[in-house]
A and B are shown apart, each in its own frame.
Chain A
């Protein structure tokens, strides 16, 4: 079903599915903080020792990466264009996308190292 969709439809669903995952994880983590009697190094360590929490947190970071990549593409293709900036538009677009890609790669790598 998903594979038969066009580029625009796939992107539309992906960005919303990622947003939903981010919301679910935020609620999950928020409920842990609220319900825990005390939040300190030991309770955090215990939380992240749990395999389910490790997987869920990794999924969150993956969803965050995809959501950010697609979302910033929409922003960049609206504002950083040759239509607005002339020849500079392409340079600005590529620079912005490169910086976003670098930040996402850094965050993802760091997150995976910390979690696992």
Chain B
């Protein structure tokens, strides 16, 4: 079966300005313009346009997997704002038929649009993003009331794409000391969990001047989160808990 031919009148040419850097070849990064033809009868995503660009530039590198906003692999800087390429409609970001793609800021670039996420995951690890219990395990499972479970809405949905932390200036300046919005959202997710029994230890770990308190409420994290989550509110909740708790 032959491939469907798109009528010429349903095709539009756009220019994709893409950050390129291959440390094994390039002395420094540069922006490359790639002209691609996209269909006009449907709205494709930025990731689809990247696939078209890659057909012309096979060496172009980027991460992607699920292509539906679940895996969090294709976080990148689209026209100056972080987002997931797979769920960002091209029509929303095209300006005069041009789009600019860069890697997420603040992390070392491995190649082209791929960044090294080690610092991001190191910070996540610090908040112990798993349930900690001390009491004996019940026979079947640790139960929650529907109300307790509701407390986790808006927290558990995080896919760890890194869009929020890499758009946070505080994380850019102190990525080794400030945990960043993604890790702090996860911290609150377990502090707020009625089954978790390590709240005091979790709060103790955040009492220093940097881990949590370096958040200046800039709210870039809220602005860019592709899942519509609110890390600033989570940070505020932890802060209130820190300031109002009575130590034993």
Question: Does A37 have its Cβ within 8 Å of any Cβ on chain B?
Answer: no
Tell me the complex Cα distance, A11–B243, Å: 11
Tell me if A6 counts as interface (CB < 8 A to partner B): yes
Stretch from B145-153, B156-164, B181-189, B206-214 at the A interface: B206-214
Interface pair A4/B247, CB less than 8 Å apart: yes
Contact status B173-A7, CB under 8 Å:
no
**Chain B residues within 8 Å of A81, by CB:** 173-174
CB closest residue in chain B, given A79: B173
> Does the CB pair B173–A83 fall under 8 Å?
yes
Which one of B170, B174, B208 lies within 8 Å of A6 (CB-CB)? B208
**When A and B form their complex, what is the total count of cross-chain residue pairs whose Cβ atoms lie within 8 Å?**
43
Chain A residues within an 8 Å CB radius of B208: 6-8
Q: Is B242 on the interface with A (CB-CB < 8 A)?
A: yes
> Across the interface, do A9 and B173 meet the contact criterion of CB distance under 8 Å?
no
Asked if B201 lies at the interface with its beta carbon under 8 angstroms from chain A, I say no
* A98 to B16 CA separation, bound complex (whole angstroms): 48
Q: Look across to chain A and name the residue whose beta carbon is closest to the beta carbon of B242.
A: A9
A59-102 residues with Cβ-Cβ distance < 8 A to B are 74, 77-79, 81, 83-84
Contact residues in A for B169 (Cβ distance below 8 Å)? 78
Expressed in whole angstroms, the Cα–Cα distance for A9 and B211 within the complex equals 11
Query: Could you show 21 A-B contacts with beta carbons less than 8 Å apart?
Result: A4-B247, A5-B243, A6-B242, A7-B207, A7-B209, A8-B206, A8-B208, A8-B209, A8-B210, A8-B211, A8-B242, A9-B207, A12-B239, A13-B243, A77-B174, A78-B169, A78-B170, A78-B173, A78-B214, A83-B174, A84-B173
What is A's interface to B at a CB cutoff of 8 Å? 4-9, 11-13, 74, 77-79, 81, 83-84
Would you list the 8 A-B pairs with minimal beta carbon distance, nearest first?
A6-B207, A8-B213, A78-B173, A8-B209, A4-B247, A8-B208, A9-B242, A7-B209
Given A8-B210, A9-B213, A81-B173, list of 8 further CB < 8 A pairs? A5-B243, A7-B208, A9-B242, A12-B213, A12-B243, A78-B173, A78-B214, A81-B174
